[in-house]
Amino acid sequence: MATSVNTTSKFTTTNNMTANIGDTDNQENRDYFQADDVVDWQASGKACTSLPTTFLTSSRQGISVQVSIASGSLLRIDQTSVDASGFEMGEALLSTGHGNPGPMTIVFEHPIYGVNIKVQPDTTDDSEYTVSIEGFDRLDTSIKKIKLPGISQKGGSGATCLNLLDSKGRIKKLVLSAKEQGIHIPFVINTIKLKTA
């Protein structure tokens, strides 16, 4: 059961906003991505709600979604004015938790065609990092992996947008991660847009 934690907890990546190095194919996929469902983290509890290592939620259209990390607890937070980023003010977000590095695994009730998601790493000033998304089929075979580089900057802009599309509709599982100097680091994601048909 989700439990409430200190309400003073916030999404704190002070001065760690991202200035991303673009990826043409990923940008084109984002421009043409047409979602027909979403996974809204607001359904997983109020802001500052601690969530277990593995928990279940549902998309707006009723698709069951399992979310997990290797250890620790996940945290449901809202974007605040403390840190301006690529997320909308008040947007419901999901964090790997304070000090938990991920990766984060998301498993869908049945395979889908694509996802669109933003990832905000919690990095130090002027540090280079990468964020990635990898899709797997029912047999846990990798379908595609997208990895984008970026650099955190004080007063930078935006979270990294990741898109994964499969024309055969085989995406059963996602693995999301953020790395700094090859080491997994904590990160935050926003609402997941889904293409289910």
Q: Which two tokens stand for residue 172?
A: 């059963």
Better-scored residue on pLDDT, 32 or 177: 177
* Number of CB atoms found within 10 A of residue 40's CB: 15
Predicted model pTM: 0.80
Parse the chain into domains and list their residue ranges: 16-195
Q: Which helix (H) or strand (E) holds 96?
A: none
- Which pLDDT band holds residue 59 (cuts at 50, 70, 90)? very high
Overall average pLDDT of the 138-161 stretch = 79
Top-level CATH class of 16-195? mainly beta
Q: Rounded distance, CA 87 to CA 159, Å?
A: 7
How much is the pLDDT for 83?
61
How much is the pLDDT for 155?
43
- Which pLDDT band holds residue 15 (cuts at 50, 70, 90)? very low
